[in-house]
Chain A
Amino acid sequence: MENFSEVMALFLSVDNFLAIAVGVIVGVVVGAIPGLTATMAVALALPFTFSMEPVTAILLLVGIYKGGMYGGSITAILIRTPGSPASACTLLDGYPMAQQGKAKKALKTALYSSVVADMISNVALIFFASYLAKIALNFGPPEYFWLICFSLTIIVSVSGDSVIKGLIGASLGIIVSTVGLDAVYGTQRLTFDDYNLMDRVSFIPLLIGLFAIPEVIEFYTSKVAPHIRTAVSGASLTWKEFKGLLKTIVRGSLIGVIIGAIPGTGATSAAFISYSEAKRTSPRKANFGKGEIEGVAAAESGNNGVAGATLIPLLSLGIPGDVITAIILGAFMIHGLTPGPVLFQENLTLVYALFCGIMVSSFVLVFVGNAAIRYFSIIADIPKTILLPIVLMFCIYGAYAVNNSTFDIGLMLVFGIMGFIFNRTGIAAAPFLIGFILGPMFEDNLRRTILISKGDLSIFVRGPITWVFILLTVASLLFAIRRYWMSRKEAMA
């Protein structure tokens, strides 16, 4: 009871509710603008959280994440441009529906499927995160070392078209993560005698540089694409129709939860698996791909079911499930918190306050989503010619705000150019970020293990938990090799 009142005291503040509302609105708006991504929005919002309380800061970012997941489907349905890869599946039936004059129905289906899936995902988070954290309390450095090795294999799934390029990106991220003073010996590593680099490469300039600046450079180095105007028309979703879709939505949500809880599998695969499962079991399977309302519900529930579940490995083990949770992990660290089992021991009140906020964010999404449907044309019709100079301004101010230093602006621009080169050469930026975040964790746990065993390497296979992670790592690597051969075969065909 005492804990409950502490949680409520921490959660029930105007700032938290405001952060959730602003986060969801920003997420939906950014997600609804083609070319801007939720990842970019979360990265840009990070500097704004410096002066906030940790709970408020994390809730703002989670709000953007959730809003962005839904916002991406708006453009997928209306203009056949998915705001995020996860919304690609939604356009299969959403866009044909819009063409048939049922845009409003498709958007409402997407919204309510997203909200239901989000809630189911949140409940799963609340139940499983603490349970998993309890198990993780038995982990020592060798177990964590293998867990991080396993997590590093998620790079394969975020590598985009080329696994090799993704792995190169991750290795480069690891190299950049080693810049600074060595944690054990205090010697300089790759600092080039510049004192600005002694305290590692700042996370925020790197993040903004990788995910926001390339969009700006890409826009000014490409021809101006014609601006597409949109319209939301047709009848809305009826209660009877919604009831008929509930089974599909619940199934899609559960698929999303299971997939989201596994690091690296991602919302895109959840959406497609949910969609194919709905198609397989539907009596109207022939209508899928031609504007079937069940297709929209399946895709959206699948991809939104992932949102809460990706926070399970993040909160309980400290392992990011995807790029956005990797950024949220950075936010935790900026606020002096380390996600993982210790967080549940030392900051249980904070964790439960976060859970409360995450639940509230689902309800906020209903209101914001409905407003977005009504005022969508205003949101989406802001031309990029006006929007991107403002985005660049936010990037610059955000990077400067970290240390009040122009060095960070330069650093951000360097990573921006790097991200742009990555885009042009087909190297995904996500593996670079995962490498940058997991690299120091890998090294830290490797060194701790060696120090506690006094150099005896048999400690790395000391018990069943280490073996479980070794097997998972090997299985994941085999899957990666298989994926590489399949993609090669496809390229050759």
Chain B
Amino acid sequence: METSEKQFVEASEAHYGRWNPNSVLGGVFSILAVSFLFYVIPRYIEMPFSMQHPLLSPQFLPQLAGWLVFVLSALLMVDGLINPPKRGEPEELRRGVPVMRQVLMLAAGIVYAFFFEQLGAIGSGIFACVLLFLASGLRSIWLYALTIIFPVVVTLLFIYLLNVPLPVGTLWESFFQI
């Protein structure tokens, strides 16, 4: 292979094509900015009955920021189309990650987001920690003792040392009432 040809192949491997993260991101943000400016602002920002000056309008700053996002996104898209960015090294680390690892992390997030009050701080903490330990493939049974120790210690720290009340868990409350 000729040297110039080799360089071209190497360069194309190092750079993205026209549909690269920058052009896609610019495109997505442009669409979001337009919908924000022409749908969200008129619908979800209430205007007062009278105003002394247009710059005092509650819509002024969101509109200014919305237009900024639109213009900058368009610029980013054009920039991405003209100068595709280089591929980064971290992408290698992101390939071939077991799906189960990500599913378990998601499950831990769901436990905290939707069952925090039902399971309580300690219950959801233990459950989420077990899921995350499993996601990391920890095998030692002794390490799993930490999934109980940590939530209990941290919860007690919050409640008694910092005076921050954390939920006991509606599920356990009703269970013990029965």
Contacts and interface: CB of A to CB of B under 8 A. Distances in A.
Interface in A397-455: 397, 400-401, 404, 406, 409-410, 413, 425-426, 435, 439, 442-443, 446-447, 450-451, 454-455
Given A50-B162, A191-B44, A409-B112, A172 B154 contact: no
Contacts of B48: 182, 185, 187
Contacts of B40: 190
B69 A409 contact: no
A389 B132 contact: yes
Contacts of B143: 386
A168 B95 CA distance: 28
A285 B96 CA distance: 45
Contacts of B128: 389, 392-393, 396
Interface string B23-36: 00100010000001
A392 B116 contact: no
B172 interface: no
- Residue among B53, B96, B166 with the highest chain A CB neighbour number at 10 A: B53
A138 interface: no
Contact of B55 (A162, A222, A450, A488): A450
A3 interface: no
Contacts of A178: 61-62, 65
Contacts of B53: 450, 455
A263 B56 CA distance: 28
Contact of A442 (B45, B61, B135, B137): B61
Interface in A240-287: none
- Chain A binding surface, main DSSP class: helix
Contacts, number: 177
A442 to B, nearest CB: 7
Given A393-B129, A393-B151, A488 B83 contact: yes
B80 to A, nearest CB: 10
A388 B131 CA distance: 12
A51 interface: yes
Nearest to A178: B62
Interface in B35-81: 36, 40, 44-48, 52-53, 55-56, 58, 60-62, 64-66, 68-69, 72-73, 75-76, 79
Contacts of A329: none
Contact of A164 (B75, B90, B129): B75
Contacts of B79: 164, 488
A418 B44 CA distance: 22
A184 B53 CA distance: 12
Contacts of A409: 112-113, 116
B109 A394 contact: no
Contacts of B136: 224, 385
Interface in B158-176: 158, 162-167
A228 interface: no
B8 interface: no
Contacts of A393: 125, 128-129, 150-151, 154
Contact of B135 (A168, A220, A447, A451): A220
Given A162-B76, A392-B108, 20 more contacts: A168-B69, A171-B68, A174-B65, A175-B65, A192-B44, A220-B102, A221-B94, A222-B94, A223-B96, A389-B150, A390-B129, A396-B116, A396-B125, A397-B155, A397-B158, A401-B158, A409-B112, A410-B113, A435-B65, A455-B53
Interface of B: 21, 25, 29, 36, 40, 44-48, 52-53, 55-56, 58, 60-62, 64-66, 68-69, 72-73, 75-76, 79, 83, 85-86, 90, 93-97, 101-102, 104-105, 108-109, 112-113, 116-117, 121, 124-125, 128-129, 132-133, 135-138, 143, 146-147, 150-151, 154-155, 158, 162-167
